[in-house]
Structure 1
Amino acid sequence: MQRRQFIMLGLGAGVGLSLGLTLYPVLQSSTQQRSDAATLVLDALLPALLQGALPAEAAAQQAALRRSRDAVLQFLPFLPRRQQAELQQLFLLLQQRLGQLALLGHWLSLNEMPLQSRLQLLSSWRDSYLATLQQAYHGLRELLYGAYYGQPQHWPALKYQPLEFNPYV
Structure 2
Amino acid sequence: MQRRQFIMLGLAAGATLATGLTLYPMFSEADKTQQQQNASLVLDALLPAILLGALPKTEAEQQQALQSTRQAVLDYLPFLPKRQQAELQQLFFLLSQQLTRLALTGHLLALGELSLEQRLQLLSSWRDSYLTLLQQAYNGLRELLLAAYYGQPAHWQALAYTAPEFRAYE
Alignment TM-score, normalising by the size of structure 1: 0.97
- Residue 142 of structure 1: CA displacement? 0.3
Q: For residue 123 of structure 1, what is the aligned residue in structure 2?
A: 124
CA deviation digits over 1:4-58, x for unaligned, max 9? 2201211210110111011012222211111000001000000000011000011
Residue correspondence of structure 1 range 17-166 to structure 2 within 5 A? 17-28=17-28, 29-166=30-167
Where structure 2 has 5 or more consecutive residues not aligned to the other structure, the ranges are none
Q: Deviations over 1:109-142 (max 9, x none)?
A: 0000000110110000000000100000000000
Matched AA of 1:4? R
Amino acid at match of 1:159: A
Q: What is the rounded CA distance, in whole Å, between the counterparts of 2:14 and 2:134 in structure 1?
A: 25
SS of match in other structure, 2:139: helix
By how many angstroms is 1:104 displaced? 0.6
Q: Percent identity of the aligned residues?
A: 66
Unmatched runs of 5 consecutive residues or more in structure 1: none
Deviations 1:70-122 (A, max 9, x none): 00000000111111011001101111110110111010100000001101100
What is the CA RMSD across the aligned residues, in angstroms?
1.1
Whether 1:2 and 2:2 are equivalent positions in the alignment is yes
Aligned partners of 2:136, 2:92: CA distance in 1, in Å?
14
Take 1:106 and 1:21, find their aligned partners in 2: how far apart are those partners? 19
Instruction: Return the offset for 1:168.
Output: 5.1
CA distance in structure 2 between the partners assigned to 1:67 and 1:27 by the alignment: 31
Q: Distance in 1 between matches of 2:27 and 2:69?
A: 27
Partner SS state of residue 126, structure 2: helix
TM-score (norm 2): 0.96
